[in-house]
């Protein structure tokens, strides 16, 4: 089953075309990795899925993206609700300069939950799901900026989980972290896939192999190849994919 289906998606930044006719069906409750060299459009594409590109002036988009069958660009769609369903974790950990608790409660509060007991429960569950409860439970009222980079990133994952999204977009979530934090995040991502659909941009091909079920290879704004991760890395169909994963360019 696919949860997001994309047809003939093109995107321009001003005159520069960053995405060319992308077609993809993102399978539900699994991990999809986007790989490709810098500037290939993988992050741009990721940010199109929950319309984060709306924030950038001069972006023009054509084509069709359907989330659970609904056109996400249609006028009836409230972009804030879309982003509640399709959450996002960024490349650099970006906790707000407030307490750990308030960071996690930010999303639920945004969507109207004010009951203290309910919030406490959501915060605890999100922190547990993001495997950071043990480190955070005694310092919930402390400023989140006092945590280490890896902890901050897991906090950001908890913050995203707290609004109970169905899809989690992750834009190179480990590229700013040390190896130990990276492996913790990878383990976490694999635990989360039972409950969530995860789409992850990564620069690191080993990471794609370790973590993902499906892999999409982007080059110069084009989706070159998409399939099961094992197939992509063992018997790529396209010469360009093979050249990239064998390290001939990138």
Partner 1 sequence: MLNQALSKKRKGFEALVKALMLLSVGLTAALVLFLLIYVLGQGIPNITWELLSTKPSYLTERIGILPDILNTVYIVLATLLIVLPLGVGAAIYLTEYASNKKVVGIIEYAAETLSGIPSIIYGLVGMLLFSNSMGTCLMAGALTLVIMNLPTIMRTTQESLKTVPQSYREGAFGLGAGKWRVVRTVVLPGCVDGVITGGILSVGRILGESAALLFTAGFAHAVNGLIDGLAAPGATLTVALYVYAKEQGEFGVAFAIAAILMVLTVMINFAAALVQKHFAKRRSI
Residues that bind partner 1 in the complex, under the rule CB under 8 A: 50, 52, 55, 57, 80-84, 87-88, 90, 92, 94-98, 106-107, 110-111, 143, 145-146, 156, 159-160, 163
Looking at the Cβ atoms of 94 and 235, the one nearer to partner 1 is 94
Coil, helix or strand at residue 69: coil
Give the other-Cβ count within 10 Å of 247's Cβ: 8
Looking at the Cβ atoms of 97 and 179, the one nearer to partner 1 is 97
Looking at the Cβ atoms of 80 and 234, the one nearer to partner 1 is 80
Q: Distance (Å, rounded) from C-alpha 37 to C-alpha 23?
A: 19
Q: Distance (Å, rounded) from C-alpha 177 to C-alpha 150?
A: 6
**Least Å from the CB of residue 30 to partner 1:** 22
Scan for tokens 């996002």, then name that residue: 88
Give the other-Cβ count within 10 Å of 218's Cβ: 26
Kindly report the backbone phi and psi dihedral angles of residue 131, in degrees, each rounded to the nearest multiple of 5, phi listed first.
55, 40
Whether residue 3 contacts residue 195, with contact meaning beta carbons closer than 8 Å, is answered with no
Looking at the Cβ atoms of 36 and 95, the one nearer to partner 1 is 95
**Least Å from the CB of residue 109 to partner 1:** 9
Looking at the Cβ atoms of 62 and 110, the one nearer to partner 1 is 110
Looking at the Cβ atoms of 135 and 222, the one nearer to partner 1 is 135
DSSP 99: B
Coil, helix or strand at residue 70: strand
Q: Distance (Å, rounded) from C-alpha 11 to C-alpha 144?
A: 36
**Least Å from the CB of residue 8 to partner 1:** 26
Tokens of 15: 């005159």
**Least Å from the CB of residue 236 to partner 1:** 33
Q: Distance (Å, rounded) from C-alpha 246 to C-alpha 110?
A: 45
**Least Å from the CB of residue 19 to partner 1:** 20
**H-type helices in 86-115, by residue range?**
100-110
**Least Å from the CB of residue 24 to partner 1:** 21
């Amino acid at each position: 089953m696919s949860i997001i289906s994309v047809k003939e998606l093109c995107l321009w930044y001003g005159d520069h075309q960053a995405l060319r006719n992308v077609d993809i069906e993102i399978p539900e409750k699994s991990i999809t990795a986007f790989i490709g060299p810098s500037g290939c459009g993988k992050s741009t594409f990721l940010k199109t899925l929950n319309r984060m590109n709306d924030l950038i002036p001069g972006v023009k988009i054509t084509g069709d993206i359907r989330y659970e069958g609904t056109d996400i660009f249609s006028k009836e769609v409230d972009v804030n609700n879309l982003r509640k369903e399709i959450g996002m974790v960024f490349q650099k950990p970006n906790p707000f300069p407030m307490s750990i608790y308030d960071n996690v409660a930010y999303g639920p509060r945004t969507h109207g939950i004010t009951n203290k007991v309910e919030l406490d429960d959501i915060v605890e569950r999100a922190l547990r799901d993001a495997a950071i409860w043990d480190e955070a439970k005694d310092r919930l009222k402390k400023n989140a900026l006092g945590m280490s980079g890896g902890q901050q990133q897991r906090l950001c994952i908890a913050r995203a989980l707290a609004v109970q999204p169905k899809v989690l977009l992750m834009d190179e979530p480990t590229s700013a972290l040390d190896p130990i934090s990276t492996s913790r995040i990878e383990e976490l991502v694999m635990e989360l896939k039972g409950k969530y659909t995860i789409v992850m941009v990564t620069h690191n091909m080993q990471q794609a192999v370790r973590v993902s079920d499906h892999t999409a290879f982007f080059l110069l704004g084009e989706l070159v190849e998409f399939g099961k991760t094992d197939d992509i890395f063992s018997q790529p169909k396209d010469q360009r994919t093979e050249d990239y994963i064998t390290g001939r360019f990138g």
